[in-house]
Structure 1
Amino acid sequence: MSLYQHARDGNVERLRDAMGSDSAAVRRRAAEFLGEVGDGGEQATVDALLRAATDDEDGEVRGAAVDALDELGDGALEQLLSELTGTTGSEAEWVTARKFARALQADRPELRMAAANALSRLDDASGLSHLVDALDDDDPRVRLRAAQACGTFADARAVPGLTGRLDDEPRVRRAAANALGSIGTDQALGALLDLLDESDESLRRIAAGALGKANNPEPVEPLARALGDESAVVRNAAVYSIIELLSNVPTQQSHAVRDRVVSELKSADDETVVEPLVEILTDGQQSRQRRNAAWILGRVAESGSTLAVEALAEALADDDAQTAQFAATSLKNLGGPIVEDRLLDRIGTEHPEDARAKAVFVLGQVGGQETLNRLEDLTDDESSAVRKRVFSAVSKLRAGGP
């Protein structure tokens, strides 16, 4: 049975047995799983990880054991720090930022790694400067954990140090990029722009996903270029960030940014853009982002895009009035047979009144003879809002269009 299956079944004893494997890869993976499914109150598990963290011949296994003890909680991590420093009992009061910061200067890299992990768990920013110093540690495992810890504080004071780690080894680079994204200031995000051209897909994804936090239009063009990325996850992250960017830019810049976004998105592959926009519209949790998705779909999707039209038609019944209105406007912009067919399906009394009224309004702009025939049957509809829209739409269609 595989380690994954043991972890899935919560078979901690088997995972502890695997810590004695001749394979360093197996020991490392077992340590990672113990951190995920183990119990910090179970001393046998803590002891197995302590032995690995202090005595294993492989540095990656020691690092995984340190992280696992960190995941098990403060008590397990304190035991590790006691073990590594030779202190016992009350002498090991490693619960203050000062003592953890002091441990960042220890000779053993595992102790420095544990200290960096511990500092990230404390609600005390006094340790930040020590973590920034640790970004220059000789051991990349320490630099990795220091970068991760800096990300938990999301403090702009760490930006210069983190930026300096963007040319480090891959894992450290990714941790630094994630931390800069968490900080989210213009300086932090500006450091990520060049990562969109990196060969490492993970770095491109991190950068694309973070740049939507910007408060200026600078990332629009680089993100638009990322829509042509060979990686689907990078392309999706870029679209999400473009939508988020529209929600974040100052009002006085929003019109110019919208025009630029539409221009860039229209030149991109339609499917690449439409799918994530539809996902934002249908599954998004933030109203501003969903409104922007509805608005943009009407300007960048093809009129024959069934995916876009169906999502917009569904949004006519959205709880957010502005999202529903933007959806109606976008359907009007798209027009065409698919729009007409989908809206005719939504004028029945089984649909909400407001959604029916909006569907009738759009049909008055894009419909043909079939629409006219169907709407004439609604002139005595029980809803006054629908009747009002019907009379207006019928008049326009009889006159030959809007």
Structure 2
Amino acid sequence: MDDRPRPDGADGSAESGGTGRGGRPTDDDPPALARLDRRFDASTRREAAEALGSPSSSMSAAASRIVDGLFEAALDDPDETVRAAAIESLYFHGDDHVDRLGRRVADRRGGGAEDGSGKTSGAAETFSRWLRHDRAAYRMLGATGLSTVGDEGAAPRLREAFDDGDARVRARAVRGYARVGGEAVEAVRPLVNARNDLVRGAAVDALVTIESDDAVELLARAARRGNEGLRLAVVRRLGALGRRDATGVLLGSLRDPSASVRRAAARSVAAVIAEADAVPAGDVRDRLLAERPFEADGLLAVFRAVAAERTGADRRAAPADATAGSEERVDTETKRYAAWLYCELLESADPTAADRSTAVEWLIDALDHRDRLVADFAAAYLPRIASTSGTGDGLPDDETDSALGVDIKRNLRALAGDEAASDAARERARAVLRRFKRAVVEAAADRDVEYVYVRWPADYTESYNE
């Protein structure tokens, strides 16, 4: 691929795929794919490349062949306008295709090594030149490729693109700037408050990559004072840092006025303690417990929401319509730590301060949770939560049910006999009921046996004589 003109008859490489000139289109392929062939004039090929950049349901069957054809056109078509149109269309098929294209060009150009005079050569030189290109597609690819190959002068050249007129170029430039070692937080600061979501998110990514004290301080300020979109971008990414000060910012964001920000903060908090040894889970729990009393729609609600999210494996196993429209992503360990924090908070919640019926009902439903460990958490904590309400003897009686706002025994019996529930869920429900029955016996024994504190043998004699 080059930005210099070449004759229409020039030979190209077939390394990017067999569709287009060198492949055989099928009957299912859109007509535009065949028109990428060099038998057509440059104007027709450009229009075809542009048409292939608007994915539709009718193109889904040929998606991989379309991408291959666009790759081939972007790399080898002799006309610059066709190559630029192909790059644009690849972007609309998926942001990662531009990354792959940058790596492909870098492989062809031999990386970013320096020549004998100390000047950059090969791919770095090409990408640096494209950063100043008239066409936004080339500048976007230049920023992408330069951040991939890097070299001594990559950071300042990418920094020059922070004020580019195209948001995609600015976003890739600022993210690449941090990736190649750029550390100037002040240079990134203006982009953190950009109106464009793409640029703003990339600036936050850059600060997370820089990870200096100044970078974390700027992220903390953005999490407190930014608009909702910026606050959401910050809390979604802070979980990757694994730093105590960053975790403190996330804990503060659990009180954010936006439900979306609170939920994202809860997800990031759970991710931090799941992955970062520097932030002990017990410390996070203790700081959360200091927030008592808990509002019904506060901490309990957001950690319950995270624990209920589907993992990637859940999504693959579920029907397509069951996951449609959801953009949430959570891994298994994050979900488990969210469930653990939820149980810890629920056990410590003041039953007189908020209605806990929804919280306890979810815990009963969680006995049939898709994740076995989350379901086991629910089974372990239910008796403990019942014992901290009402009489405090570990038995869910009428007084306890009134305090919790839900008839635990009746719900457990219903689950134990529900043929639609899994065998494991029914067994967990029966196991919790057995624990409650044992608590009845133990509580009765405690009431009927007289205990005498004996320090010296005479103490017992004196008590007995009385």
What TM-score bracket applies, with the shorter chain setting the length? 0.5 to 0.7
Residue equivalent to 2:5: none
Structure 1 counterpart of 2:133: 108
- Aligned twin of 2:407: 338
Give the C-alpha shift of residue 209 in structure 1.
1.3
Matched residue, 2:231: 204
Is residue 64 from structure 1 mapped to residue 111 from structure 2 by the alignment? no
1:370 aligns to what?
A: none
2:253 maps to 223
More helix by share: 1
| Structure 2 partner of 1:139 | 164
TM-score, length of structure 1 as denominator length: 0.62
* Distance in structure 2 (CA, Å) of the matches to 1:129 and 1:36: 38
Distance 1:159 1:341 in 2: 58
**Displacement after TM superposition at 1:237 (Å):** 0.7
Distance 1:356 1:78, change over 3 A: closer
Match of residue 144, structure 2, among 106, 109, 117: 117
Deviation at 1:340, TM superposition (A): 3.2
1:231-270 pair list within 5 angstroms:
232-247=259-274, 254-264=281-291, 266-268=293-295, 270=297
Q: For the residues of structure 1 that align with 2:337 and 2:237, how far apart are their CA atoms?
A: 18
Q: Decide whether aligned partners of structure 1 residues 117 and 74 sit closer, same or farther in structure 2, where only a CA change above 3 A counts.
A: closer
CA distance, structure 1, for counterparts of residue 283 and residue 101 of structure 2: 54
Contact 1:53-1:63 at 8 Å conserved across structures? yes
Q: Deviation string for 1:64-101 (max 9, x for gaps)?
A: 357469855789669999xxxxxxxxxx9434134333
Deviation at 1:310, TM superposition (A): 2.7
Relative distance call for 1:181 and 1:280 in structure 2 (3 A) is farther
Contact 1:193 1:222 in 2 (8 A): no
The answer as to 2:81 corresponding to 1:94 is no
Offset at residue 146 of structure 1 (A): 1.5
Residue of 387, 396, 400 corresponding to 2:443: 396
Give the letter for the 1:100 counterpart. A
Q: Which moved more, 1:348-357 or 1:237-246?
A: 348-357
TM-score normalized by the length of structure 2: 0.55
2:356 pairs with one of 303, 306, 321? 303
For 2:447 and 2:79, locate their aligned partners in 1 and report how far apart those are by CA, in whole Å. Answer: 78
Q: 2: CA distance between counterparts of 1:31 and 1:49? A: 18
The residue aligned with 2:68 is 40
**Structure 2: which 5+ runs fail to align?**
1-26, 36-41, 114-121, 311-330, 390-399, 449-466
Provide the aligned C-alpha RMSD in A. Answer: 5.1
Please report how far the alpha carbon of residue 194 of structure 1 lies from its aligned counterpart in structure 2 after TM superposition.
2.4
Aligned to 1:360: 434
> How far apart are residue 271 of structure 1 and its match?
6.5
- Say how many residue pairs are matched: 340
For residue 205 of structure 2, what is the aligned residue in structure 1?
A: 178
Change (3 A) 1:100 1:183: same
Equivalent of 1:165, from 191, 206, 211?
191
* Structure 1: runs of 5 or more not aligned: 1-8, 55-60, 82-91, 364-374, 376-389
Aligned to 2:380: 325
Question: Residues of 2 paired with 1:79 and 1:252: CA distance?
Answer: 40
Q: CA deviation at 1:285?
A: 0.4
